[in-house]
């Protein structure tokens, strides 16, 4: 089913006309043989952007997270994440299934944990314990509500991890949303971590692609895994060109998505029976419990208006703004929701 207003996720964007032209006109080489200048430009540029030495172009953020774990962890090692983390909930068990790594969930408000909670979770060096090896931070948090980790909190968490001999991965699927919301450069977040991923298919609006950045030695090993997993590509410059276009044209405009999310939260907040969580970036979480409807029932009614959100649990829905959703769409959505609640 096609939705006229699709707030399910920022993955639901279509490439713009300008991006399609860039893709069509790209003269790409064989990236697997390092013969593609466009992929080379993208990886050089993103390594610098993310505060790292080197980067590798990959089909998806899931592969970027998976390869980060494969490179850094040994079977039986432990990866520490927030309990809402993508690694744990949405990667088909990649860390365990591919790397033999145990994923240990820890708690904290809004998808984030603090240095003290991490310190308490890291296991001492004992022969009979799993080795705590890696911690992963989601910037912005996804199921945590689209919140932005403050730089100081990442710094404190990374310091604890590094003191105890762990490496830090920044799952930056939506890192540029955090950059635009906080005015902190991506490289300042990235330089605190050992590996950083960035997704081009979320708010950046590309049909394909992610990068993983790290030290030259780490990215060398990542290449072996990319090859092994079948992630090595051929004329991938066609997609890399779209990613470069997105870095040039789709970053600053994330501020519009954030403004639209705030507007939606504001309009929904005025409707009796809805509880709206605070908005920091492009996600709006709304609890419809007081309407007497489940999230499923609520979404079915929205579908009658050609609108879709995603379901996050019994009575909670999530709306994500993106370049396919303008201010009019937000107002139309709020009016539809008002009507559903009043009925």
Ligand X SMILES: *Cc1c(COP(=O)(O)O)cnc(C)c1O
Q: State the residues that interact with ligand X by CB under 6 A.
A: 60-62, 65, 86, 138, 142, 171, 173, 199, 201-202, 210
Answer yes or no: are the C-beta atoms of 271 and 337 closer than 8 Å: yes
**Which tokens is 58 given?**
């990959």
In angstroms, what is the minimal distance from the CB of 163 to ligand X?
26
Answer yes or no: are the C-beta atoms of 55 and 212 closer than 8 Å: yes
| Residue closer to ligand X (CB basis): 169 or 245 | 169
In angstroms, what is the minimal distance from the CB of 28 to ligand X?
21
| Residue closer to ligand X (CB basis): 141 or 291 | 141
In angstroms, what is the minimal distance from the CB of 161 to ligand X?
19
Bridge partners (DSSP) of residue 287 are: 275, 316
Query: How far out from the chain centre does Cα 166 lie?
Result: 22
| Residue closer to ligand X (CB basis): 119 or 229 | 229
| Residue closer to ligand X (CB basis): 316 or 337 | 316
| Short-list 7, 123, 29, 111, CA closest to 76 | 123
| Short-list 322, 70, 64, 66, CA closest to 210 | 64
- Could you give the CA distance from residue 138 to residue 148 in angstroms, rounded to a whole number? 9
| Residue closer to ligand X (CB basis): 201 or 299 | 201
In angstroms, what is the minimal distance from the CB of 160 to ligand X?
22
| Residue closer to ligand X (CB basis): 179 or 337 | 179
Residue nearest to ligand X (CB): 61
| Short-list 132, 177, 138, 129, CA closest to 283 | 177
Answer yes or no: are the C-beta atoms of 31 and 236 closer than 8 Å: yes
Work out the number of other CB atoms within 10 angstroms of the CB of residue 99: 24
In angstroms, what is the minimal distance from the CB of 136 to ligand X?
9
| Residue closer to ligand X (CB basis): 101 or 291 | 101
| Short-list 59, 87, 141, CA closest to 318 | 141
In angstroms, what is the minimal distance from the CB of 85 to ligand X?
7
In angstroms, what is the minimal distance from the CB of 139 to ligand X?
8
What 3-state DSSP class applies to 212?
strand
- Could you give the CA distance from residue 179 to residue 189 in angstroms, rounded to a whole number? 9
Bridge partners (DSSP) of residue 197 are: 171, 212
């Amino acid at each position: 089913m096609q939705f006229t207003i699709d707030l399910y996720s920022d993955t639901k964007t279509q490439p713009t006309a300008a991006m399609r032209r860039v893709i069509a006109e790209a003269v790409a080489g064989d990236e697997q043989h390092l013969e593609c200048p466009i992929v080379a430009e993208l990886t050089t540029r993103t390594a610098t952007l993310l505060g790292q030495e080197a980067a590798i172009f990959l089909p998806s953020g899931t592969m970027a997270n998976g390869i980060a774990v494969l490179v850094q962890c040994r079977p039986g090692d432990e990866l520490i994440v927030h309990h809402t983390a993508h690694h744990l909930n949405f990667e088909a068990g990649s860390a365990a299934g591919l790397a033999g790594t145990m994923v240990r969930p820890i708690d904290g408000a809004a998808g984030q944990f603090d240095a003290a909670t991490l310190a308490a979770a890291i296991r001492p060096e004992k022969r009979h314990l799993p080795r705590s090896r890696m911690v992963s931070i989601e910037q912005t948090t996804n199921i945590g509500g689209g919140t932005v980790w403050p730089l100081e909190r990442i710094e404190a968490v990374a310091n604890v991890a590094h003191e105890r001999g762990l490496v830090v991965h920044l799952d930056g699927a939506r890192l540029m949303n955090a950059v635009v919301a906080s005015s902190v450069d991506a490289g300042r977040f990235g330089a605190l971590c050992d590996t950083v991923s960035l997704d081009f298919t979320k708010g950046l609006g590309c049909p394909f692609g992610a990068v993983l950045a790290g030290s030259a030695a780490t990215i060398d090993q990542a290449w072996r895994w990319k090859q092994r997993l079948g992630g090595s590509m051929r004329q991938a410059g066609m997609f890399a060109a779209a990613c470069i276009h997105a870095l040039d044209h789709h970053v600053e405009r994330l501020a519009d998505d954030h403004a639209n999310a705030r507007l939606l939260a504001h309009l929904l907040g005025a409707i009796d029976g809805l509880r709206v969580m605070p908005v920091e970036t492009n996600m709006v979480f709304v609890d419809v419990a007081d309407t007497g409807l489940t999230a499923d029932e609520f979404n079915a009614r929205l579908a009658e208006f050609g609108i879709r959100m995603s379901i996050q649990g019994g009575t909670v829905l999530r709306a994500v703004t993106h370049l396919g959703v303008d201010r009019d769409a937000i107002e139309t959505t709020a009016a539809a929701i008002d009507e559903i609640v009043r009925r």
